[in-house]
Structure 1
Amino acid sequence: MISRRKTIALLATLALALATINQATTAIATDNATVIIIGPQPTSQLDSFLRTMLQLVIVVLALTLLASLLLITSKTFTIQLI
């Protein structure tokens, strides 16, 4: 069975990889190189459905990561109520 630390590290790595893919940008220069446009181009831009799905996956992974951290923290530390 995989440990909790490895699970959190894998989730964080996967979320970072998805965020990188989602925000990937390209740079294009003109023939005389006077104008440089930096940002997603129409040919390399993801369609809106795929972009929405990737953003949804990133949100779910972030919430899973936070829930895992909360679970580990609650199992590690105990607070006695008065």
Structure 2
Amino acid sequence: MAQMNVSLPDQLKGWAESRVAEGRYSSTSDYVRDLVRRDQEREEARRRLQAAIDEGRASGVSERSIEDIIEDVRQRRAG
């Protein structure tokens, strides 16, 4: 495993140590790894959402009414 040294202001260091003291993490390194993993997951979710938005915009304007779309969704859910 690679090593990285990070400098934190006292307030942030204290926060990280308090999270460990609560028992949710085994060490401050474990806490920081969790933060990085969560940031990666959020970024991946943001990218997927942006891709869906871009795809929707590129598909053009639909001729269907919102009622038609809602009815299609209801029918799909009904089986």
Alignment TM-score > 0.5, same fold: no
Q: Normalized against structure 1, the TM-score is what? A: 0.42
Q: Normalized against structure 2, the TM-score is what? A: 0.43
Structure with greater proportional helix content: 2
Structure number with the bigger relative contact order (C-alpha 8 A, sep ≥ 6) is 1
Structure with greater proportional strand content: 1
